[in-house]
Structures are given as C-alpha cells and as structure tokens.
Amino acid sequence: QVQLVESGGGLVQAGGALRLSCTYSGFTSSTYTTAWFRQAPGKGRTFVAATFRSGSSTHYAESLKGRFTISRDKAKNTVYLQMNHLQPEDTALYYCAADPSLILSSIRREEQYRYWGQGTQVTVSS
C-alpha cells in the first residue's frame, strides 16, 4: 500500500525559503513519478514540479522555474521541494502525489496521479 506523508510547511515572510518533504512507502517498482501540486484558497489544484520515473528527469511549472527545486533521495524514500524567494501568492496547501505508470505528457495533470498525501500548508506573509 502506497503512502505519502508531507511535512515542512509553515509560516514564512515574503522573500524567505522553505523545504517541503514527502516521505513515501510502498513503491513496488522503480518507475514511480512523484510530483508536487498546490491549491491556493478558493482555487483548483495546480502542478508545481515532478520527478519523472524515479528521477530520470525533473519538470516544473514555467512560472516557478528558478525559485523551486524538486529532488529525490532514494535512500531516505523522500522527495523534497526547495522553495526560495517565496511570495504571498505562493500561499497554498501543497500536496505530494505519485503514480507508477505515467507517461511524460501526463505528469502535469492531477487526475493522472493515483496516490496523494494529505497536504502541508504554506503561508507567506507580506
């Protein structure tokens, strides 16, 4: 049974940084794509970043490139999201997601992911 547990959210001032962690268990193959999505208040869930198939490549929402970095530590079964130069518009509930069978063209689509964590709140004050 796949489980994803996010941590690392919190309150930070604009211009600050946070690192989110997603610890996973139950992966039965090496082909899992793991991703971060976020949901701002009153809005839908949007793609942030992904590591495709156990880290063969990384992908980002265009607007977040250069500020956010996704990485994966296989020894710790953890995926990280380093977020720098945070702005109030980054305030959202951040979710970790995973799926074993995605193709590259699908990784930005939330409905393609089978497994989700419970989310961790990030609040950026101005």
Instruction: Walk along the chain (126 residues) and give the pLDDT tens digit of each residue.
Output: 999 999 999 999 999 999 999 999 998 877 899 999 999 999 999 999 999 987 789 999 999 999 999 999 989 999 999 999 999 999 999 999 999 999 999 999 999 999 999 999 999 999
Q: How far apart are CA 66 and CA 49, in angstroms?
A: 12
Nearest CA to 51 among 7, 95, 114, 108? 108
Residue 107 tokens, joined: 């990784």
pLDDT at 29: 76
Nearest CA to 99 among 87, 110, 86, 114? 114
Q: Which amino acid is at 94?
A: Y
pLDDT at 30: 76
Q: How far apart are CA 112 and CA 50, in angstroms?
A: 13
